[in-house]
Amino acid sequence: MLMDADESQLVLIDYQDKLLPAMWEGQACWDNALKLAQAAHLLGLPVWGTEQNPSRLGSLPPDLKALCRQTLSKMHFSACEEGLLELLQPAPAAKPVQGNARSLPKHLQKPAATEPERRSIVLAGVEAHVCLLQTALDLLEEEWEVWVVTDACSSRTERNRDAAYDRLAGAGAELVTTEMVLFEWLRSAEHPHFKYVQALMK
């Protein structure tokens, strides 16, 4: 099963300034998160961010935060406990404007458009064995498809990161890499944004 850009959303977990120095291969992880966000933004995918206890751990980097539709501040380790599930749902249809007596009858009015449901959640972040893991397990419990971008995730130790991947795979998450995600979103070298996304990977 391949990822479909039209059914995907990107969630970036806790890429905060004060966490970067403590993470295993942290800079590469942060760099891949930015590539994912840039490509998702270009392709029109929703991008969401989270910040764990930002008053103590700082914010997302400005270039990353600017690509997010919304950044959720949280104290729970799972972002699902703090409103992520509501963000991932399609926006409700806007109520039609009440017209006057010359308005079209209701049966002739066009229904308000809603955003399509996007059930594939591409998840990346830190720490892999804490906030990312708990968020992913909650999403799986709620029957979302979860794709964890392994080279855009980290923990303070390699052992903790790898233990998270073992548990996530066993729970039903798909483990992927940044390049896998980007090229599955594109599907073809004829995609109008292929050259831009290819340049991100160089």
Q: What is the pLDDT of residues 64-92, one digit of tens each?
A: 999 999 999 999 999 999 999 999 998 76
Model confidence at 202, in pLDDT bands (50, 70, 90)?
confident
Residue 140 confidence class, pLDDT cut points 50, 70, 90: very high
Higher pLDDT among residues 113 and 171, named by residue: 171
**Top-confidence residue, 128 or 110:** 128
Confidence at residue 110, expressed as pLDDT on a 0 to 100 scale: 58
Q: Residue 164: left if φ>0, alpha if ψ -120 to 50, beta else—which one?
A: alpha
pLDDT of residue 111 exceeding 60, the answer is no
Beta-bridge partner residues of 126: 154
- 115: its two tokens: 């955003």
Three-point CA angle 42, 47, 52, nearest 5°: 145
pLDDT exceeds cutoff 60 at 98: no
Above 90 in pLDDT, residue 106?
no
pLDDT in tens, 21-53: 999 999 999 999 999 999 999 999 999 999 999
DSSP, residue by residue, 129-155: IIIIHHHHHHHHHTT-EEEEEGGG-B-
Tokens read off for 64? 């990353």
Q: Report the predicted TM-score, pTM, of the whole model to 2 decimal places.
A: 0.88
- Give the domain ranges of the chain: 5-89+119-200
Q: CATH fold of 5-89+119-200, please?
A: Rossmann fold (3.40.50)
Quote the mean pLDDT of the chain.
91
For residue 108, pLDDT over 80 is answered with: no
